[in-house]
Amino acid sequence: MIGVITYNTPHLIYWDWRIAADLFLGGIGVGAYLIAVINSLVYRDRYARVSKVGAILAPLFVIAGLGFLLLELGHPLRMWRTITGFNISSPLSWGGLFQTLMIIIGIMYAYLWTKPNAVKLRNMVGVIGIPIALVVGGYHGWLLTIIKARPLWNTGPSTITALLSFVITGMAAILLILCLLPKARRAGVGAAGDGGSQESGSATWMIRDFRHLLVGAMIVQGLTFFIWWISLYYGSADAHAALLVANAALGPLFWSVGIGAGLVIPIGLQLMAVVRDRGRPERAHTPLTILTTVLILVGAFVFRYAVVVAGQLC
């Protein structure tokens, strides 16, 4: 075998944890917004607290995500140039525009929750925001996917994984906030079927019913991740090499925290709770839910971080 040694310039990593934080926090904001609006439209005011928490979280998290993006920029004060010099073929141009729209819509939607007489307008604003939220969520995956030069990112399943991830993290953030609210305000979290009012039972509903949705979404995300992995492992030589390099550099962190703690353990814990409650009134398992949601959020951040950094290695 002929050995080949190459002498090249140092390889630099330009996007760090701040880009991961932008994708992660923006994703939570978008997910929280979608859940708030859909919950409000489907269940009207039955579980209003869920929508209220989601409506407040949405603009805050999108703003925080955008803040980390600005921190990463060399010239954040020139951000307005993405509007004046709008490039129709650049995902970042579209992302900046739609994130700004998302913030405006999110703030309007949250504000309208303080106006009890403006339910129709609130729902209208909420519906207008849905496609915007989907674009922002999709953009978080699309931003990386279109880069042909980075085989780890340049796969279809990576966008789907990102899309699912923002729904899951948005859901997890709302659940976590509901669980952490003072007991009097989250009446009903302790036990389902305790005779509480519909409004006070919202958190219980979230935990009891959304748990199933959350577990389902996580299983689907696990499957899309598996397809992503397969497409890399059995894909082109580029893709395979990118996977090997990524594994060598960030494999332990990615597999233990990103996948293990962020996906496998939460699914296991929640399934365990579902099985244990079988045949009797289902309980909310507040501490378990807090643990699960924290694990999901930490895992999702590590997942994003590992993908962003490892993608630049090859």
Partner 1 sequence: MSLTRRQFLKGSGVVGAAAVAATLPGCTGTTDTNTPGQGPRYGMVIDLRRCFGCHACSVACKAEQDVPLGYFKSWVMVSEKGRYPHARRDFVPVLCNHCDQPPCVEVCPSQATKQRKDGIVTQDDDLCIGCKYCVQACPYGVKYSDPRTKTAQKCDFCLHRVEQGILPACVNTCNARARIFGDLNDPDSAISRLIAGNPVQTLRPAMGTDPRVYYIGLDQDAYAPIQRAFSLSDQPGTQGE
Q: Which residues bind partner 1 (CB under 8 A)?
A: 2-12, 14-15, 72-76, 78-79, 81-93, 95-96, 115, 117-118, 120-121, 124, 128, 146-151, 236-238, 240-241, 312, 314
How far apart are CB 89 and partner 1 at their closest, in Å?
5
> Which lies closer to partner 1 via its Cβ, residue 238 or residue 277?
238
Q: Specify which residues 283 forms β-bridges with.
A: 191
CA 303 to chain centre: 11
How far apart are CB 128 and partner 1 at their closest, in Å?
7
144 and 307 Cβ atoms separated by less than 8 Å: yes
Look up residue 253 and give its two tokens.
């962190």
> Which lies closer to partner 1 via its Cβ, residue 3 or residue 287?
3
> Which lies closer to partner 1 via its Cβ, residue 112 or residue 267?
112
> Which lies closer to partner 1 via its Cβ, residue 2 or residue 42?
2
How far apart are CB 301 and partner 1 at their closest, in Å?
20
How far apart are CB 144 and partner 1 at their closest, in Å?
8
How far apart are CB 52 and partner 1 at their closest, in Å?
19
> Which lies closer to partner 1 via its Cβ, residue 156 or residue 252?
156
224 and 272 Cβ atoms separated by less than 8 Å: no
Long-range contacts of 99-102 (CB under 8 A, 24+ apart): 99/26, 99/62, 99/65, 99/66, 99/136, 99/139, 101/132, 102/29, 102/30, 102/33, 102/58, 102/59, 102/62, 102/129, 102/132, 102/133, 102/136
